[in-house]
Structure 1
Amino acid sequence: MKIAFVASPEPGGQRALKELSDGYGQAAVAEADFIVALGGDHMALEALHDAVASRQSRYTHAHRQLRRSSLHSLRTDDSTERLQAAVSLDLPVLQAEIKQVGGHSRVLFAINEIVLGRQVLQRAKLKVAVHGEGDPRSINGDGLMLTTPIGSTALNRSHGGPLLTLGSSLLALTGNAIAIPPAWCPVILSDHAILDVQVIEAAYRPVQILTVSETVPNISRVRLFRSPDRTVTLLVDREAQSRLCTPFGRQC
């Protein structure tokens, strides 16, 4: 069994990293069977993004990862057994196919959400279309985010977005300070939906895309959807599960 340990830069994380890697070895992320994240939610998300990035698109499942909820209660003597006994949760991956002003193309992946946000004081002007669901809609505001079920408790929730059930085949489209139309409310979509967003007046009202790990500025258009050939499997320590029903802040 090959394990890659990744840790928070704080002293507790680094001590745990040394103890575990000395005891179990340290594999490269690209070669590991498991990635063990030592730290909080952000550390776990970074590890998940590393897992997605390290696999080629032909792989359906990226690395498995065990998320420990607290460095203060971390035990290092039975990690192999805890990995085998961990609770498994398959997570969808969002994909963004981006065109920038000037013609450059990018592809990004995200676990929680993909955020489109204005870069300057002027509101973003966006034309949004969902394939097969009517005409495009014009929206003015600070931006939009597309969120997976596991990400729905995070930034999405703070902007009034809906809480999605884990394991559901749903995505949430939530606005940030939408001024036009004034009656805007979050939209729940099937995870088979394909969302096309065009930035209007992109040179004067620049828009950027943000994920946990990357920021791409000066977007002209983007297609957002659930990746058809990428998922990640999150392994939650059963001891952590007794204190926290599911990862990333979703309480019992």
Structure 2
Amino acid sequence: MAKDHHIKTLALLATDTERAQEAAAELSQDFQFVPLEEADAVVVLGGDGFMLQTLHAMLEAGDVKPAYGINRGTVGFLMNRPRKRADLLAAINRASARTVAPLRMVATDQDGRQHATFAINEVSLLRETRQTAKIEILVGDKVRIAELVCDGVLVATPVGSTAYNLSANGPILPLDSQVLALTPISAFRPRRWRGAILPEYSDITFRVLEPAKRPVAAVADQREYRDVAEVSVAIDRSSEFTLLFDPGHSLDERIVAEQFVT
């Protein structure tokens, strides 16, 4: 989506914090919002967590609207700065658009049940007990690591590369890089393996070794499935969504700036 989007109708979603609710009340004085299903775009008031929650809900409903976030939370990496009320619609129509494709995760638990969901930031596998996890990693149909002994491992998108992935010493990925970060979490063996950068079309499979003795949970952004036996992860281009950013305040710039934080 280019600039001059011709957006005419907006929905408004706000988290339940006092700051977000106050901002919602102020915006509602100057603009007539419509239900989400009738809107051309959605204004999201809160922080990154609420933005992810909103995007997940739209993805699962199969009706994804362009989202313009206004930071009323803490980090606000996916959000715009608070702005004056009266020019909201004009600002959204001037905004830069960034199209993003989520990961699709399919987790099979130890009872053979499958759980499918989306991840916008990352899919992570994490040990559930004091026992280290043992995980086999395949890329395509080729085994790349026969046994990773670790606290966990994750796959991050460029959008999510500055979140958990960065905390686990993974690489920051430019938005247009068309790659994924595969990052170990406290790897014990292979001791020198620091992860990999993979083409975004890669199909990645994790097989949990000794799952009964060393149980592992799979987490797609905020959704957790426990006692998994196998997890497959791939980009889902059929479920793309659009984030809107004020000029000069784009997600690309934030990813670049994050690499110079001291």
Cα-to-partner distance string for 1:184-218 (whole Å, 9 max, x where unaligned):
11100000000011111112211111133311111
Matched, 1:110 2:132: no
Q: Which one of 109, 117, 134 corresponds to residue 125 of structure 1? A: 134
The answer (yes or no) to whether the contact 1:41–1:248 under 8 Å persists in 2 is no
Offset of residue 44 of structure 1: 2.4
Q: Which one of 65, 68, 75 corresponds to residue 63 of structure 1? A: 65
* Stretch deviating more after TM superposition (163-172 or 65-74): 65-74
Cα-to-partner distance string for 1:140-199 (whole Å, 9 max, x where unaligned):
111111001111111111111011111111000001011111111110000000001111
Cα-to-partner distance string for 1:201-250 (whole Å, 9 max, x where unaligned):
112211111133311111110111101311111101237x1899337984
The answer (yes or no) to whether the contact 1:29–1:51 under 8 Å persists in 2 is no
Letter in 2 for 1:131: G
Matches within 5 A, 1:4-83: 4-55=11-62, 62-69=64-71, 73-83=82-92
Letter in 1 for 2:100: L
Matches within 5 A, 1:228-243: 228-238=237-247, 241=249
- May I ask how many residue pairs the two structures share in their alignment? 246
The answer (yes or no) to whether the contact 1:153–1:249 under 8 Å persists in 2 is no
Q: Which one of 199, 207, 224 corresponds to residue 198 of structure 1? A: 207
Moved over 6 A (4+): none
TM-score when scaled to structure 2? 0.84
**2:101 match: secondary structure:** strand
The answer (yes or no) to whether the contact 1:131–1:195 under 8 Å persists in 2 is yes
**2:65 match: secondary structure:** strand
Query: Which residue matches 2:254?
Result: 246
Matched, 1:166 2:175: yes
**1:215 match: secondary structure:** strand
The answer (yes or no) to whether the contact 1:100–1:219 under 8 Å persists in 2 is yes
Q: Which one of 156, 165, 169 corresponds to residue 147 of structure 1? A: 156
The answer (yes or no) to whether the contact 1:4–1:26 under 8 Å persists in 2 is yes
The answer (yes or no) to whether the contact 1:114–1:147 under 8 Å persists in 2 is yes
The separation in 2 between residues aligned to 1:48 and 1:32, in whole angstroms, is 15
Cα-to-partner distance string for 1:12-41 (whole Å, 9 max, x where unaligned):
210111233454344444553212111232
TM-score when scaled to structure 1? 0.87
The separation in 2 between residues aligned to 1:120 and 1:34, in whole angstroms, is 43
The separation in 2 between residues aligned to 1:164 and 1:188, in whole angstroms, is 9
**2:43 match: secondary structure:** strand
Offset of residue 45 of structure 1: 2.3
Change in Cα spacing, 1:100 to 1:133, as seen in structure 2 (3 Å) is closer
Please, what is the CA RMSD of the aligned residues?
Answer: 2.6
Unaligned ranges ≥5, structure 1: 57-61
Unaligned ranges ≥5, structure 2: 1-7, 74-80
**2:243 match: secondary structure:** strand
